[in-house]
Each structure stands twice: as structure tokens, then as C-alpha cells.
Structure 1
């Protein structure tokens, strides 16, 4: 009996070892499965800041995955036009996209809440809402019917009000101007007498230079200098009331996302979080130097928007945002979450961020020690 029991034990041990080898081989084969993706963007290839974000994301994913997931990045117009990024991802033409959600207002008007809300939350506040206030879950819920998932992948910070070919001394000076401005800010400006024109970034300079438009906003000094907008317009206005930040999005085809093993999904999420902060850091670091170059080397006229323009913009912004919130149940759901979070963070920032700025820079003093 002992010999028989020993033989059975040895046989069972061999079977278990064999099963472990087969399982291990299967896991190894799965771990080594590779994926080659395409990412289309709404930006010129390798454009500073926002255009570098998707390049960094692709590089990080390649490095962290050991080459198991590679992403080829296409600039606007290389594979699809900049304004067709969402459709390309939804239809599977590309597995990923990098863009800004207000470009899809014709498909999902409430998407504008996730890009920029005039007089709304800044980058720090938006990141908090998206990652800790339920905003990102709502963003994904909005895109679910299109078969698209989304990760946050960059922020511009507070932008500039824009470039103008004439002085703006009052609201009346806006009447009849043709201006490139997307999203909710564009709707606000249209109610102030501006004819709004939408176009991808790559078309802005020639349109402004030729007189097809009289004014434009883009992002801020770093990108505006790169586009050479100072060669096409004389006056540079602030503050960027219309875009206290733009949050950039990494769009992912739902089926492509589901095809990834869990570790590659985690790598992609981690890379997006890195890029999200990195893009904002780069803008914060580069904008001031670029602004000094524009003013000191290119004699750009830096102007603050008149108080009556800002007051009118704020009034119309409240109406535009309220109307969007009432346009659908989903829009109302997103707006309620956004507004509740903004109310809380504004209360805290009044005694933290804003109080510190006021103490650091007394009224009328815009210099630092």
C-alpha cells in the first residue's frame, strides 16, 4: 500500500507540475502579446506643448510596456483632419485620439463642460473635479453611446483673451469682428456682436494675416509665438476669461481598450496622468519667457480687456452655460456636478489660493520680489 501510495503521489505531482508549466507558458504567451495602435490628433505634428503631449504619451507607453503596446502619432491632417478625430476613434480608423472636447459640441453639446467653461474652474480645480469629484466618470458616460472611452491628457492653464487687429476699448468695438474662438466662449462672443469662425490651429495664421478673420484666440504666449501670430496682429489681450484652462483628452476606441490586458490598461492610464501634469507644467514654465519675447523683442501691444467687456462677457457666460445645462438630462447631470464642485472649491480657494495671491501681490502690484 505504501509503494502504491507513493506511485500515485509521484504521478499526481508530475501532473500538477505539467499543468503549472502549461499555465505558465499560456500566461507568458499572453504577456508577450503585442499591440500596434494609431493616435490621431487635432494639432500640428510635434507642436510645442499640446502637440508634444501625445508624443510623450506614446513614448511612455512604449517604455513602460517594453514595446508590447506601441502608438504611432499622427498630426492634424496626416491621417484625418483635426476636427474628425472623434469620428476616427469612434469608427476604429484609429485606436486613439488627442484633442479637446468642445470640438464635438455638434455631437455631444455637453462635452464642452469638460474642455473649458467661461469664468469656470481652472486647471487645478478641473483636475480635482475630474479625478476626485466624479467628473471623469461623467465624461465617460457621455461618450458611452459613441463607443469611446476617455482619459484626461493635458491642461493649458489660463489662456490669453486673444489677438486683435484693432484696439478694443469698449464692447462696441467687438461688433462685426470676425474671430476664431471655439466652444462656449465663442457662443458668448457671438452674443456680443462677434462673427465666430471655427478652424483648426494650423489655419489660424494665414486666416489672420489675409484678413479672413480680424481676431483669434489660440492658447497662450508659448504656442502663439510658435505660430508667429505677432506677425499677423498687433494687439494681444488678457485675461482669458473664456478658457480658464482647456483640458485635453485622450480618446480611446472602446473595443480597442477592452482588447488590452489589465496591465497595459494600467500603463495607459498612468501615462495619461503623467502627460496631463506634464503639459500643464510645460505651459507654466514656458509662457512667461514667450510673453517677454513677444513684448520686448517683437513690440507686441499687451492690453487688458476693458472692464465693460469683461462684465458683459460674464453676464452672457452665465446665460450660455445655463442654457446648455438645460439642453438635456445628461447636460444637467454634468452641470450640477460641475457647479457643486466649483462652489466648494471656490469657497476654499478664497482663503487659500486667492488669499495668498492677494498677500503676495497687493492690489495694483503685478511684480514679484
Structure 2
């Protein structure tokens, strides 16, 4: 078949029009994570995946280590257009609404990150998150959790009985209230102060981070007891974007970003599972006692946690909605009677 010059010219114009029609998206995202940590490295991989899947149509400016504003100001920075998206942790904004605590960490509700993700994808969590964030001009895109956190202690920490009189470092908020119900004495201090406080016997133990992160900063060189797998805390980070910015994106760009967040959530869980188990093997070889709490002790902790949830539920209507969402899902999967 003979191809005329007119046909070639028309095809060329169509290709040029298609190329010019491709919409370009640039998003400015801040995270508190540092480039050196496993989670930080995987967030950088998320950026690369988005750019690759979009064939360069989406470019992300990633600001790590909270380099634009303080971590606690990231959410407002996105709302006000200083950046486009917040990739930190919802606990930073519990001052706006206590409900954000339950978007980030239920403290004792779930045993594994996959259970929390199941609430998001199968238990109504995504809908609850979308409604909550939307009230503040933000769109929730996704959530990723590294692993359960592990306690570190200079005294045995084998079950609930060992919490009585146990003086430990706690972040502010709901966690200290739960542990206090079980007889522990919480001391609120910054993460950076934990090592010295353990070394000088100011505290008996600490809720600090995951097993591998705790080991990485030398906490088990001082505290020869710990919990693993953890049970009390799983801090989840989110990707949430300014709603006006998000709604202005092409639909296929939104889909690419959502898929990339889902991949990130899988990659973080997988990486931390390997890192934590390798660390557990190394620590046990060095004589560190790691206790996996019994079902009975976990149930006692969860009972204290849920009592605290109910107290928090009275803070705002949105908190009551989030608490009910978690409780309903946990009942449906047999965690609650």
C-alpha cells in the first residue's frame, strides 16, 4: 500500500499532539525519614518507581529528614501549599483531632502490620481515613508500616507482671496511659535521650523503635532483655496530599501513585521482617533474652489498650468513629469476643 506524504504528515502531527497532551506532574513531598535508614531507602525507591511507571510524567521532589519544616508541621505545610504532600506520621497531628492516633497506631490492637493493612483494605479503614483527612483539606493516599516495635529493658520483661513498677521511656499520649493501667511508670523523653537514660539507670527500659533499630543504636548493649515479636506498637506512616493538588492530577497519575504506595507498604514489611529476624538471631547469640509474650499476656495488654481507646473515643466524634471501625473489624476476625 502506498503511503502518501499527506498521510505521513498527518501521522507526525498526531504524534506531536499526543506528546504535548501528556500531562506533567511535579509533587513536593516531605518525610521525617532519613536517607540512611531502610525505610528511608525504600521511600526513595518509591519515588523512582513512580517516575518509571509514569514514563517521566510524574516528578517527585522528596525532602527527607524534615528539611523544609519540622516533622510536626508537615501536615499544615501541605495544607497551606508550602509542599504538596505529607509523608510522615499521623500522630504528629493528634492535636488537631485525637482520631489521627488511630490512623497511625492503635497500640495493642493488632499483632502484625498485615493485620493493620487488612483493616485498611478490607475492614473499612480506607474509607475512615479518607473521611477524616478530607475534613482538613487533605486526601489520604496510603499507609505503610515497617514492623512491630520491641521493648528494651535492663530487667526481665516476660509478661504483664513484669510491668509492675517498671520505669520506662514512653512517647507522649495514649501509650503512657495504657502502660500505666498495667502498673508501669512512664517517663516521657525524646528518642535521642534513651541511651543515656538507660546507661545511667534513670529508666529501667524503653519503648524506642523496632528490634533492628534498637540494636543499631546499641540499646541492647545496655538492656539485656527485650520483647520480640513486639505487641504494643506499630507506628504507621502515611502519604497524604493537599486535596486541591490531588484532585488536579490526571486519573492515571493518581492510580500510579496509589499502586506505588501499595508496593512501598509491601516492601517495608518484607525488609523489616528480614532485618528484625536476623537481628533477633544475633542478639540471642550474644545472650540477650527476647520474650514473645503469651496469648494470655497479650490479651491483658489489649484489654488495657481498648479501655484507653474508649476513653479517647469521647474526645471527638471522629475519634469515636475510628475506634468503632477498629473494634468492629477486630471482632469480625475473632480478636474480640
**Which TM class, normalised by the smaller chain length?**
0.7 to 0.9
Mapped to 2, the partners of 1:39 and 1:273 lie a distance apart of 17
User: CA 1:172–1:264 in structure 2 vs 1: closer, same or farther (change >3 Å)?
Assistant: closer
Number of the residue aligned with 2:250:
261
User: Is the aligned partner of 1:103 residue 2:83?
Assistant: no
Aligned with 1:341 (options 329, 332, 335): 329
User: Is the aligned partner of 1:28 residue 2:19?
Assistant: yes
User: CA 1:154–1:53 in structure 2 vs 1: closer, same or farther (change >3 Å)?
Assistant: farther
User: CA 1:85–1:211 in structure 2 vs 1: closer, same or farther (change >3 Å)?
Assistant: farther
CA positional deviation for 1:58: 0.9
User: Is the aligned partner of 1:224 residue 2:224?
Assistant: no
Taking structure 2 as the reference length, the TM-score comes to 0.82
Q: In the alignment, is the contact (CA less than 8 A) between 2:146 and 2:268 conserved in 1?
A: yes
Q: What does residue range 166-181 of structure 1 map to in structure 2 within 5 Å?
A: 166-168=155-157, 171=161, 174-175=164-165, 177-181=167-171
User: CA 1:256–1:207 in structure 2 vs 1: closer, same or farther (change >3 Å)?
Assistant: farther
SS at match of 1:218: strand
Mapped to 2, the partners of 1:206 and 1:57 lie a distance apart of 35
SS at match of 1:346: coil
Mapped to 2, the partners of 1:216 and 1:124 lie a distance apart of 25
Taking structure 1 as the reference length, the TM-score comes to 0.75
301-310 or 87-96, which moves further after superposition? Answer: 301-310
Q: What does residue range 85-124 of structure 1 map to in structure 2 within 5 Å?
A: 85-121=74-110, 122-124=112-114
Q: In the alignment, is the contact (CA less than 8 A) between 2:79 and 2:137 conserved in 1?
A: yes
CA offsets 1:137-180 (integer angstroms, 9 cap, x no match): 211211123222222242234332x1123445775765372413
Number of the residue aligned with 1:131:
121
202-211 or 262-271, which moves further after superposition? Answer: 202-211
Aligned with 1:195 (options 186, 191, 194): 186
User: CA 1:166–1:103 in structure 2 vs 1: closer, same or farther (change >3 Å)?
Assistant: farther
User: Is the aligned partner of 1:52 residue 2:53?
Assistant: no
Mapped to 1, the partners of 2:175 and 2:250 lie a distance apart of 40
Mapped to 2, the partners of 1:168 and 1:133 lie a distance apart of 33
Structure 1 or 2: more helix by fraction: 1
Q: In the alignment, is the contact (CA less than 8 A) between 1:180 and 1:197 conserved in 2?
A: yes
Aligned with 1:293 (options 282, 299, 306): 282
Number of the residue aligned with 1:360:
none
Mapped to 1, the partners of 2:64 and 2:123 lie a distance apart of 32
Mapped to 1, the partners of 2:32 and 2:202 lie a distance apart of 21
Number of the residue aligned with 2:175:
185
Number of the residue aligned with 2:73:
84
SS at match of 2:240: strand
CA positional deviation for 1:90: 2.5
CA RMSD after TM alignment: 3.4
Which residues of structure 2 form unaligned runs of 5+?
Answer: 1-5
